[in-house]
Chain A
Amino acid sequence: MPTVTIDGCKVEVEKGATILDAAKKAGIWIPTLCYHQAVSSDASCRICMVELDRGDWKQLVTSCNYPVRRDIVVYVSSERAKLARNGVMELLLARSPESEELKALAERMGVKETRYPKVTESQRNCILCGLCVSVCEQIIGQSAIGFAGRGVERVVAAPFRQPSEDCIGCGACAAVCPVGTIKVRIHHDQQEVEISPFKSRAKLLVCKQCGAPVVSEKVGELALDKLKISSEEFRELMRLCPKCRKSKTVEQIRTVVFEEK
């Protein structure tokens, strides 16, 4: 196994693991935004830059996707690496000044403010990290959203910037969004879930017993399909809210355990 020396600390990692994996193992924190272990790394945000020692010269690399193939020496806290990470953070703060999540990360990195004015338009503080796009494609398998436009015009959107029919309203994009751009809104009166800012809406599955919203209908179907359990009784159970499901299960157990005896 190759050894990674991070800021003088030696750790062994599997061949092909990333510098970020090694840093985690060494207990060294590197800020990340567009990285999520569930999806492949795109290294687009550039906030996780570290300095790689190549002997006669040093190179800045993104730790989230640099594969360790042999023994390497890496600096996380070198002046150049810090400057690069902080520089990227300042640019992101200029783009998305209102994101509380971004501000919190900046604070943890020691970046107090940005020297730059706001020159690019972001959609609700979106930093275009692409995690939402990746999770929708790679994990959910829907590809309801993607990138549209180029350069400063780049945005995350559904095709033709219209609400997408492929969106199942699962909210995975909102869950992975590191800056709070994507939100799940429940419209109780219409029994619908909306994924904002994409404006896509999906019918909610409502608990048969108490009428509380469970998940979107499409998510329920997808989950049942993935579970591959054909028992109708189980499927019925899954259409209840967690609370009612619990009480129903308790009921069933009581019947089985106590009354049948």
Chain B
Amino acid sequence: MTSFCDKRLNSPDELERVREDLSEHRNSDTKSVCVCIGPGCAAKGANRIYELFCEAVEQSGAQVKVKAKGVGCHGLCECGPIVIIQPGDIFYQRVEEPDVAEIFRETVLSDRIVERLLYEDPSTGKKVKSPNEIPFYKAQKRIALAYNGVIDPASIEDYIAAGGYTALPRALTSMTSEEIIAEVDVAGLRGRGGGGFPTARKWRSCRAAEGFPKYVICNGDEGDPGAFMDRAIMEGNPHSVLEGMIIGAYAIGSSQGYIYVRNEYPLSVERLKEAIKQARQWGFLGEDILGSSFSFDIRINRGGGAFVCGESTALMASLEGRPGEPRAKYIHTVESGLWGRPTNLNNVETWANVPAIINNGGEWFAKMGTEKSKGTKVFSLVGKITNTGLVEVPMGITLRQIVEEIGGGIPDGKSFKAVQTGGPSGGCIPAQHLDTRVDFDELTKLGSMMGSGGMIVMDEDTCMVNVAKYFTAFLQKESCGKCTPCREGLSQMLDILDRITDGEGKVGDIESLEVLAELLEGAALCALGKTAANPVLSTIRYFRDEYDAHILERHCPAKECRGLFRYEIDPETCKACGICLKNCPADAISGEKKVPHVINQEKCTLCGTCWEKCPFTAVLKV
């Protein structure tokens, strides 16, 4: 690749000249094949597809100017691997290795569209060409993910050519620290990591705090089950995080930043490392950034695999090399954080929003969203949903729009039961509240929370007691064990939930759970413990009948808890084929030819083999 910059840039003017050179060089006759190599697509073999496109480009010679690039997560993971051809915005989905040659020959070289690889709109049955025609993308609004799927995350030139690093020189040359903070204040940006604390207020407190040096930290310890928002940003557009941090550090008066990335994200670490190296080379990090006399540098630290390290004080303890355990926050970290110095910690997505706010102004950002929740929020949409993937939506959109329009509803004709937001500390929101608008305070009112953006959709086959048990077990395992309510209280809650799902629940168990929940909320040391009871409380609040059915009737209405439902053969549907009989390991099924089979309930071990094997779905869970 031609290098446009062999020395540090010493002024915003030099940067603009390089940007002009870059866009001239990238004139429109160059085609690009953007292969999504985000985690979802990579799991389906996208890396190999990217290699094949690279080979095809090499072999094609000079017929046409073309470039293959691996890009960050495009969002519609369900339909991966995704390949987009530019110009034209041609969106190919479920691309497999044999398709590469065809795409290259037809679309890249001959400008013809390969119809069969286009996305088919399930409501109209029509094939659509570009992402903005796909319902999944239509209702989205992308700020943090704006360049995901467009730029090569390993190339700073791509980021600059796309308009990256324009906010930084603006902030450094024409804005004072207070003006930057005021702009973020006008934007109404709130912490995207879960708490929703106003970012500008945090920055201002840290700026005003006494003590030096001051630190800024980017929290990339994304640990919620089913969440991959921050990962997609770190892997898809690492420079946006760096640019946000540099602007924040300048506003706060910090000269050292840290990015704390969870150990399970090696690609994020690699991308960020490369980005930091490039930013240093180009003069966006280090001494005297763009000739402004402001100096700032960033280091990456990898987590050790503890969920609790996503909590700010535990994260800082871990950064200091001590065990990752939280401490009381009666004195805030903006006053005394890392090594006892004023420290400002924000989540990956929060930092990634900053450049756009500086570029477009706080008012532009504040136009999106609700009264108290502005801008957009990235969610990872998983579970029983048709379009699994990553979405960025304006605040104020309803949960129904996310689940039905963007997510495409529940697959297999099943009905929606609940959506779990906010990760393990969040709660389950039932169908009657689907028209709730996505907003920090609205979700909290429902007993859930915004959290960092995990969104798990559940259908009628999901047992809500089991869901509560899953999250409680997760948190009990991830509790650091420092404080009594979290360590002992969660173990007691799990013990009760275990009994209920085993059919050994007692009258009064629900009340015991509520007592423990209240104790956790009031007495636990950190946010992990204080919110740990939310999954239990929200399921009791909205699905108390399911708890009652488990406890009073020894029955699991969703037929998920083993032992709390039984298998029966429907004599009408049974064709007496004998498959269940042959496969039953307990000899519990009797029957003859042409006579519907019967399960002997006393012998049945509830293994579910008959239910799985029956070709006529005659075995029912009742």
**Which residues in A have some Cβ–Cβ distance to B below 8 Å?**
42-47, 49, 60-62, 65-67, 80, 83-84, 87-88, 91-92, 94-95, 115-117, 119-120, 127-128, 130, 147, 149-154
Q: Which residues of A contact B525 (CB under 8 A)?
A: 43-44, 46
Encoded as 1 (CB less than 8 Å from any A CB) or 0, chain B from 459 to 491 comes to 000000000000000001111111111011101
Q: Which of A46, A66, A87, A150 contacts B515 (CB 8 A)?
A: A87
Q: Which residues of B contact A119 (CB under 8 A)?
A: 488, 491-492, 494-495
**Which residues in B have some Cβ–Cβ distance to A below 8 Å?**
306, 323, 327-328, 330-331, 476-485, 487-489, 491-492, 494-495, 512, 515-516, 518-519, 522-525
Q: Which of A83, A95, A150, A154 contacts B306 (CB 8 A)?
A: A150
Which residue of chain B has the shortest Cβ distance to A154 in the bound complex? B481
Task: Evaluate contact between B481 and A149: CB separation under 8 angstroms.
Answer: yes
Task: Evaluate contact between A44 and B491: CB separation under 8 angstroms.
Answer: no
Task: Evaluate contact between B522 and A44: CB separation under 8 angstroms.
Answer: no
Task: Evaluate contact between B484 and A44: CB separation under 8 angstroms.
Answer: yes
Q: Which of A49, A117, A147, A151 contacts B495 (CB 8 A)?
A: A117
Chain A nearest CB from B585 CB (Å) reads: 33
Q: Which of A61, A91, A153 contacts B484 (CB 8 A)?
A: A91
Task: Evaluate contact between B522 and A92: CB separation under 8 angstroms.
Answer: no
Which of B480, B491, B525 counts the most chain A CB atoms within 10 A? Answer: B491
Task: Evaluate contact between A88 and B331: CB separation under 8 angstroms.
Answer: no
Q: Which of B478, B515, B522 contacts A60 (CB 8 A)?
A: B522
Q: Which of A60, A67, A91, A92 contacts B330 (CB 8 A)?
A: A67
Interface of B is mostly: helix
Q: Which residues of A contact B323 (CB under 8 A)?
A: 147
Task: Evaluate contact between B487 and A120: CB separation under 8 angstroms.
Answer: yes
- 18 additional contacts (CB under 8 A) given A88-B523, A150-B306: A42-B327, A43-B525, A46-B523, A49-B522, A66-B328, A83-B519, A87-B485, A88-B484, A88-B519, A94-B488, A116-B492, A117-B495, A119-B492, A120-B487, A120-B488, A128-B484, A152-B487, A153-B481
Q: Which residues of A contact B489 (CB under 8 A)?
A: 91
Chain B nearest CB from A124 CB (Å) reads: 17
Q: Which of B484, B515, B523 contacts A127 (CB 8 A)?
A: B484
Task: Evaluate contact between A46 and B330: CB separation under 8 angstroms.
Answer: no
Some 10 contacts from A to B, beta carbons below 8 A apart, are: A44-B525, A45-B483, A84-B519, A88-B484, A94-B492, A116-B492, A119-B495, A147-B481, A150-B478, A152-B487
Q: Whole-angstrom distance between the alpha carbons of A87 and B516 in the complex? A: 8
Q: Which of B306, B491, B523 contacts A87 (CB 8 A)?
A: B523
Task: Evaluate contact between B330 and A87: CB separation under 8 angstroms.
Answer: no
Q: Whole-angstrom distance between the alpha carbons of A65 and B331 in the complex? A: 10
Q: Which of A43, A87, A151 contacts B479 (CB 8 A)?
A: A151
Task: Evaluate contact between A152 and B481: CB separation under 8 angstroms.
Answer: yes
Task: Evaluate contact between B485 and A128: CB separation under 8 angstroms.
Answer: no
Chain A nearest CB from B320 CB (Å) reads: 15
Q: Which residues of A contact B523 (CB under 8 A)?
A: 46, 49, 60, 84, 87-88
**Taking A84-B522, A88-B523, A152-B481 as contacts, is the C-beta distance between A62 and B328 under 8 angstroms?**
yes
Q: Which of A47, A83, A152, A154 contacts B476 (CB 8 A)?
A: A152
Task: Evaluate contact between A44 and B512: CB separation under 8 angstroms.
Answer: no
Q: Which residues of A contact B476 (CB under 8 A)?
A: 151-152
Which residue of chain B has the shortest Cβ distance to A85 in the bound complex? B523
Q: Whole-angstrom distance between the alpha carbons of A65 and B330 in the complex? A: 8
Q: Which residues of B contact A150 (CB under 8 A)?
A: 306, 478-481
Task: Evaluate contact between B487 and A128: CB separation under 8 angstroms.
Answer: yes
